[in-house]
Amino acid sequence: MIAALPLTVNAIVSAHPLGGVAPAGFTWSPDGTRLVYMIPSPAGLPPAIRVYDLKDGSDRTLLRARSDVRGSRSRPIEQVVWSPNGDRIAYLDGGNLWIADAGGGGAVQLAQAADDPQWSPDGTRIAYVHQNDLYVVSVASRRITRLTSTGSSTRINGDPDWLYSEELDVAHAYAWSPDGDRIAYLSFDESPITPFPIEHYLARQNTVEWQRYPLAGDRNPRVSLRVVDARNGRSRLLYNGGLHDEYVVSFAWSPGGRFVLQQILDRPQRHLRIERFDVVGGAHRTLWREESRYFVDVQPAPRFLPDGKSFVMLSARGGVQGLYRVWLNGRFRLLTGKTPIAGIERVGERGVYVSAMAPSRRDKALVFVSFDGAMRIVTRDAGWHAVTMPERGSAYVDAFSSFAQTPEVTIRRLGSSWHKKLFVTPSLVRYGLGTTRALEVPSRWGPLDAELTVPADFNPHRRYPVIVTAYGGPLPVGDALPSADSWQGLYTFLLAQHGFLVFSIDGPASNVDRTSNEYMFSERMGEIAMAGQLAGVAWLKAQPYVDASRLGLFGWSYGGYLTAFTLTHAPGAFASGIAGAPPVDWRFYDTAYTERYMGLPKHHARAYRATAVLPAAGRLRSKLLIMQGSSDDNVHVMNSISLLEAFIKAGKQVEYFLFPGARHGVAGIPARRNLYTRMLDWWETTLQ
């Protein structure tokens, strides 16, 4: 029998990693005959951009981006956009706007320092954002027209600011009207927000970056909905949310171009409405209202049906996030039942394709929903399917994995067995990986979803140390929770090879099958998330193969908060922990996310104190390693610094490691090798 090869950090984190490099960033041509996708670079270099043609089966490199300039929005910096008839593409390269034919030939640069290009409906012009203003360039003449002129360091026109991009999922803040005569856009006045410093300490870039980051309870950007004439730049106001301190989020044009539908959310995030604005007369009408005494989640923009008289949207007003059909007279109908709907993939004449948590809440599948409410699962195997569909055509991309199935990316056709593999994980048989199995852990809230990874030579008569990996915080329906039936990644199996069991559990507030579960986060961000981990600890202690004296807890971001909170509020439950980029006091985090669950600090001071890590620093009894990027623009370094100060004052010894220049995540081969090696060394030192 041939001995299994050991996994190593250097082999997992490499320019040519053992698990391969899966494609990403899929963008279909409107007719569904061509697919642009990207091959990411593990080394942090720009990706290779490729195009697959379903007509002739060709798969070739379209271009190699010359820059990986860091994007500050929800969009990839290497954005590729198809022309309406699918014969050309617009793309960003080195921050500049280019167009080329569908095969990448005949490339022409149209503009410099551009962002978020969008074709006009007739394909003759391209709008884009430059230095916080909207511009339009003629494809034929290359003549550039400036549409707005108020852009500045505190005024952003047509591009979401950091808060809206990060917390409200606004990827695009402008849209062409169907006739191409107008552009509706959001305008962000950030002058009320106090600039927050992010220091870059390295000698070659020893500068301070000033970020408009509103802390919980502070002032938000003042956002308005406007419409501008795409020919002459005349702009008019449709709605000013700043007057009422509201969130003015995703919007959509009606098919005829007469109306703009806009989602508006109040500051406490308890009331959401969709308003229909007449761009000609200025009148508006409320089409939809939704409210909760806890919070209301914003959703993607409504999607109009071909009849132009109704649209579909997602809402959790019925207790489960479902798909609704809404008519312009305000009448609506729920099309789905108890299955949580994650996203709308395509709208057709006979029904809607959606991503849904099916056949169980651990799985994600492509589902067809007819307008009479019938539902049919399209994807074949149980597990995790991330699907990308074109506007038309029968093909779609299916990125799939499960506990037992390594990731693969396939182009499939609806109603056909035809498929084309774009990516298959290289064989890992010779590495003798362990296995992952799904579990249900009892709790006073009912069974909690969990999973356990064990080494290939697992011996039930041996007592193992266990590493518990956690996130614990609220996630949108469709984001993979720790117990989701998806591939766990090779680092998990490396830990198993080193003699650890790896365990994950979803807390009671994380189950996506009922909105009431998520409501449990209200004013209990630490307590309710920790409850899941403690239920997991109780289950682990009851297993004969677990050494209860050697339990470790790890998480990043909210998981880092959960780790620090659990180790200080349930001292002794874990022997050791690693807290990555942890929020330590919710007063230090942003408005939109924090206030959704915690309310305003001035009204809920007791809840903010109860959910903070800092006051309980003196209760720490475990070994603790804190790690973070020095340039984190999401969870600022002041969180870790404040926690270190609290531990010092309490006489507690902890370890701390800073990744120079890293943002909220740690990127690049050298840094990630350091991260994984440091974590492995920590567990072997503190748990073995």
5: CB partners within 8 A, 6+ apart: 430, 431, 432
In a domain, 96, yes or no: no
Q: Is the CB of residue 336 less than 8 Å from the CB of residue 321?
A: no
Residue 78: is its pLDDT beyond 70?
Answer: no
Least confident range from 75-79, 197-201, 230-234, 393-397: namely 75-79
Mean pLDDT of the chain: 94
**Containing structural domain, residue 553:** 430-687
What tokens does 566 get? 């659990």
C-alpha distances in angstroms, 270 versus 262, 323, 605, 608?
Answer: 17, 20, 19, 19
- pLDDT tens per residue across span 20-75: 999 999 999 999 999 999 998 887 777 888 999 999 999 998 877 665 444 444 45
In a domain, 478, yes or no: yes
Provide the pLDDT confidence category of residue 191 given band limits of 50, 70 and 90: very high
- pLDDT tens per residue across span 632-661: 999 999 999 999 999 999 999 999 999 999
In a domain, 507, yes or no: yes
Q: Residue 570: which CATH number?
A: 3.40.50.1820
Residue 454 has φ and ψ, to the nearest 5°, of: -125, 155
- pLDDT tens per residue across span 450-473: 999 999 999 999 999 999 999 999
DSSP-derived secondary structure for 92-129:
EETTEEEEEETTS-S-EEEESS-EEEEE-TTSSEEEEE
- pLDDT tens per residue across span 579-591: 999 999 999 999 9
Residue 104: is its pLDDT beyond 80?
Answer: yes
* Model pLDDT, residue 70: 41
Provide the pLDDT confidence category of residue 76 given band limits of 50, 70 and 90: low
* Model pLDDT, residue 68: 47
471: CB partners within 8 A, 6+ apart: 481, 482, 555, 557, 558, 559, 562
- pLDDT tens per residue across span 508-561: 999 888 999 999 999 999 999 999 999 999 999 999 999 999 999 999 999 999
Percent of the chain with pLDDT strictly greater than 90:
87
Question: In total, how many domains does the chain have?
Answer: 1
- pLDDT tens per residue across span 562-574: 999 999 999 999 9
In a domain, 73, yes or no: no
In a domain, 589, yes or no: yes
What tokens does 558 get? 């909210």
In a domain, 377, yes or no: no
Percent of the chain with pLDDT strictly greater than 70:
98
In a domain, 287, yes or no: no
Distance CA 296, CA 290 (A): 7
In a domain, 537, yes or no: yes
* Model pLDDT, residue 45: 75
